[in-house]
Structure 1
Amino acid sequence: MCSSERNIAGRLQEGTSSADPSDLILELRTRRPPALDGRAGCETWSVDFSPDGSWFAWSMGHGIVWVVAWPLDAEESQEDESDREDKSFSCDQAVWGLAFGPRPHKTSTCQNQKYVPSKPTTLLLASLEDGVIKLWNVLTGQPLFDLKGHEGIVRDLVFPPNGKLTLVSSSRDKTLRIWDLTKKGKCVQVLSGHKDWVSSCCISPDCSMIASVGRFDRMVCLWSLRSYTFIRNLTGGAHKTFYLLTSCDFSPDGALLATAAYSGSTWWIDLWDPYTAEKLATLVDYCNLYGQNQISAIQFSPDGLHLAIVTEDRALRIWEPGQKGWLMQTEEDQSSNGLCCNFHPQGGVVATGTRDGNVRFWRTPRVVPSLRHLCRSVLRHSVSTHQIEPLPIPRRILEYLTYRTFPDRLETCCSSSSSSSSADEWES
């Protein structure tokens, strides 16, 4: 596959949605021999937009990462045309995680073993089957260096929102690692405490906390990004029924932490207050088909109003936290299971990766945030729950600022009344 090819097969494939034919904006299809279709290794395990929204990358299966300029149909920008060409990176093994790095500012400092770009660039990282994390310069297409240390598949890569070249990675080797990219990937700290695979991790918007979920140990751990110490475990085996944790994400203001889990024919999303460890709400969905109910990924929209949910029976669902039912959901598609999702930094579009190696771009519901939501978002970004609770303000305002206006438990409109016995069993 040639990295200079501009015409990726099926690049602009118009599609349909169960709610509105215009929900699916376009689809990127991979070009591979028919003999490889449907075989293991085709999966798109990760997709990501660059922080400025000008690039999109996805792992298209069989060890290939594609990077395309965004938007796909835009005219060439003021940058060098060669810099805006589609690029592919061959990794020779399965790619499990992708992340664009922050865009460093131009600087003349370059000493000893420090990695400091001589001019603004765009970094892309990919985690591989053997635990190695590879780093490239997207504009030049050149590899920079590798990060080595993990002893298992690295499932998630995240950078803090403050623009620092500090990487957090979570792995099936039961650990998280903190890397300093300015020192050519020196491992600053290893966070140990999970008893099994670490499925996902995320960083709070104020860069004070890391959250991680263990797939089989049922642990939701909070870590200090400032002191690299363990803070607390949010679940602690609260449910007796065996279940698996798959994904987590902080809301843009940092006041909510969403975690996703599934068991049998049920999946649910818990909303937590990361400061008090209080569970604020639970969304439960009962599925008709056993084994087709796993949540693959969740992510808050940039404005914090919506939560994107990718499950193995549908490409995408959009939920407004605290509300019953879906703002949007795509048609059931067992042959093209959803595996990952990512919002564009400016919102309005969410990308989903599928098991067949393709990527779909969906138009998300457009809602004008209320003034009170904007005020809450600004306030909660810098003020913790512990700092808000002592304030001499009316109780109703206090409950709104701390997200305690949510119902304790919500069932989706798709959940049937006949599932009540299953719910009782799940809670027992």
Structure 2
Amino acid sequence: MEARPAPEGEDAEGEPLLVAELKPGQPQPYDWKSSCETWSVAFSPDGAWFAWSQGHCLVKLLPWPLEGIEPTCKALECKSPYPKAEAKGRGGSKEKTLECGKIVWGLAFSAWTPSHPKKHSLRGSSASCLVLATGLNDGQIKIWEVQTGCLLFNLLGHQDVVRDLSFVPGESGSVLVSASRDKTLRIWDLSQNGKQLKVLSGHVQWVYCCCVSPDGQMLCSAAGEKSALLWSMRSYILLRRLEGHQGCVVSCDFSPDSALLATASYDTFVILWDPCTGEQLRSLCHFPLQPILDHNSDFHSNSLRSVCFSPEGLYLATVADDRLLRIWALELGSPVAFALVKNGLCCTYYPHGGIIATGTRDGHTQFWTVPQVLSSLKHLCRKVLRGRYTTHQVSVLPIPTKMKEFLTYRTL
């Protein structure tokens, strides 16, 4: 049996509960154009840090679980699957403020292993360090060491807003992909002092988002177009164009086993694809839920803003202009939980599950409990196999057809 959504009415596994909220302080003395929109939030891969682009050219780095937020910090601490012993073992880390000098749009963490730690002024003798990449509105990308808050690199090359960032999973954690309004994607290598390795051209509109598959083999990018592009991370060539949306594709994410790709569009649809074949497997429609909305609101659209997979790969989260955070169960193809998120722009899961963070247009970040279940043995086997074998490789295995369909997600 596949893992199923928890029954309604159970707070820990049912409707999302707001357990904490971060709000910008007094406006900073920057140009009014700095805004306070939170276009990006991110958890570090190990779940030890949270980054919040709070507006006014600032990024907040907060140790996780959050401290000093009463009374909700206790709720976060008890609901978070992050071990308390590990939290204490971070050396008493304190929150940091990174002054980026320009409006921040994109954020991405990576555990980077530099070949020459001393050369990059990394503290201590550790072979690796946690870094944060920030994409700015003038085309710069600044790379920071999280533990010290020191600026390591300033990558130059983009001619417009750096809208999104994604590190390539791997042992070194040094390769970064950036997406920009200059209609290009660029590949950078921190191990070569931030050298620009490649410029990918193919979009004719602003590039809104980019994501690298967990196996490090593919890159998906989306712009103000009705299609998403899939690239090879080995050869940096365009593999295929995914066409099926009727509006601009604005967000994309790979499943944890790299076997599924979700794209979200202004046409109110999420489409699930097989990235290996380009086949459209399922579409999820965001029907507006008027009774949940404030009748005095200026609601006009339920256009999608963000989509992301849960860490175990059984759920999808979406944020839309109809003020709703939706949690979808993939096997059901329908939402199983809702939360009211005013002016939501982005969402991301805590890497160990159970919590999701949302960023809003007014600069707030909210933390919600979300459905979390134990994966079935069947799903775990699929996740392991699909992390190693492509759809084409699975299709030639000497196993029953129904098993092949399950392994390739044709049963969605």
With normalisation by structure 1, the TM-score equals 0.81
> What is the aligned residue count?
372
Map residues 115-264 of structure 1 onto 2, 5 A cutoff.
Answer: 118-119=125-126, 120-163=128-171, 164-215=173-224, 217-235=225-243, 238=244, 241=246, 243-263=247-267
| Structure 1 residue aligned with 2:63 | 69
What secondary structure sits across from 1:357 in the alignment? Answer: coil
Q: For the aligned residues, what is the CA RMSD? A: 2.6
2:37 alignment partner, one of 32, 43, 48:
43
Q: CA deviation at 1:313?
A: 2.3
Name the CA distance, whole Å, in 1 between partners of 2:34 and 2:134.
19
**Matching residue's letter, 1:54:** A
Alpha-carbon spacing, 1:149–1:327, altered in 2? closer, same or farther (3 Å): same
Name the CA distance, whole Å, in 1 between partners of 2:145 and 2:63.
14
Residue deviations 1:259-317 (CA, integer Å, cap 9, x gap): 00123xxx000000111111000011233686431211111011001111111222521
User: Does 1:373 pair with 2:367?
Assistant: no
Q: CA deviation at 1:139?
A: 1.2
Name the CA distance, whole Å, in 2 between partners of 1:324 and 1:101.
32
2:101 alignment partner, one of 72, 92, 106:
92
- Structure 2: which 5+ runs fail to align? 1-10, 68-76, 78-83, 291-297
**Matching residue's letter, 1:50:** S
| Structure 2 residue aligned with 1:337 | 343
Give the conservation status (yes or no) of the 8 Å contact 2:16–2:371: no
Name the CA distance, whole Å, in 2 between partners of 1:134 and 1:46.
15
Alpha-carbon spacing, 1:115–1:169, altered in 2? closer, same or farther (3 Å): farther
Give the conservation status (yes or no) of the 8 Å contact 2:129–2:145: yes
Residue deviations 1:323-380 (CA, integer Å, cap 9, x gap): 143221113x5xx311111111111111111111111111111211111100000000
What secondary structure sits across from 1:155 in the alignment? Answer: strand
Give the conservation status (yes or no) of the 8 Å contact 1:102–1:159: no
Ranked by relative contact order (alpha carbons within 8 Å, sequence separation 6 or more), the top structure is 2
Residue deviations 1:178-221 (CA, integer Å, cap 9, x gap): 00011221000011111111111111121111111122x22211
1:387 alignment partner, one of 377, 388, 393:
393
Alpha-carbon spacing, 1:165–1:115, altered in 2? closer, same or farther (3 Å): farther
Which ranges of 4 or more aligned residues in structure 1 deviate by more than 6 Å?
19-22, 114-117
What secondary structure sits across from 1:178 in the alignment? Answer: strand
Q: CA deviation at 1:33?
A: 4.3
Give the conservation status (yes or no) of the 8 Å contact 1:194–1:219: no
What secondary structure sits across from 2:335 in the alignment? Answer: coil
With normalisation by structure 2, the TM-score equals 0.84
Name the CA distance, whole Å, in 2 between partners of 1:339 and 1:366.
23
What secondary structure sits across from 1:286 in the alignment? Answer: coil
Name the CA distance, whole Å, in 2 between partners of 1:373 and 1:285.
26
- Further displaced range: 52-61 or 154-163: 154-163
| Structure 2 residue aligned with 1:421 | none
- Structure 1: which 5+ runs fail to align? 1-16, 407-428
Name the CA distance, whole Å, in 1 between partners of 2:29 and 2:334.
40
**Matching residue's letter, 2:261:** L
**Matching residue's letter, 2:107:** L
Give the conservation status (yes or no) of the 8 Å contact 1:47–1:353: yes
Name the CA distance, whole Å, in 1 between partners of 2:35 and 2:169.
32
**Matching residue's letter, 1:60:** Q
Give the conservation status (yes or no) of the 8 Å contact 2:299–2:322: no
| Structure 2 residue aligned with 1:269 | 270
What secondary structure sits across from 2:111 in the alignment? Answer: coil
**Matching residue's letter, 1:65:** V
| Structure 2 residue aligned with 1:53 | 47
Residue deviations 1:75-108 (CA, integer Å, cap 9, x gap): 8734443xx1111011232110111122427x66
What secondary structure sits across from 1:234 in the alignment? Answer: strand
Give the conservation status (yes or no) of the 8 Å contact 1:296–1:340: yes
Residue deviations 1:16-49 (CA, integer Å, cap 9, x gap): x9x968711111111124999x997111111011
What secondary structure sits across from 2:211 in the alignment? Answer: strand
**Matching residue's letter, 2:88:** S
**Matching residue's letter, 2:365:** V
Instruction: Percent identity, please.
Output: 47
Alpha-carbon spacing, 1:387–1:364, altered in 2? closer, same or farther (3 Å): same
Name the CA distance, whole Å, in 1 between partners of 2:387 and 2:204.
32
User: Does 1:29 pair with 2:33?
Assistant: no
Map residues 353-368 of structure 1 onto 2, 5 A cutoff.
Answer: 353-368=359-374
Name the CA distance, whole Å, in 1 between partners of 2:400 and 2:231.
32
- Further displaced range: 250-259 or 309-318: 309-318
Residue deviations 1:98-131 (CA, integer Å, cap 9, x gap): 11122427x66667xx888753422111111101
- Further displaced range: 290-299 or 177-186: 290-299
Alpha-carbon spacing, 1:220–1:137, altered in 2? closer, same or farther (3 Å): same
- Further displaced range: 176-185 or 155-164: 155-164
Residue deviations 1:219-242 (CA, integer Å, cap 9, x gap): 21111101111111111xx46x5x
What secondary structure sits across from 2:387 in the alignment? Answer: helix
Give the conservation status (yes or no) of the 8 Å contact 2:344–2:361: yes
Q: CA deviation at 1:252?
A: 0.5
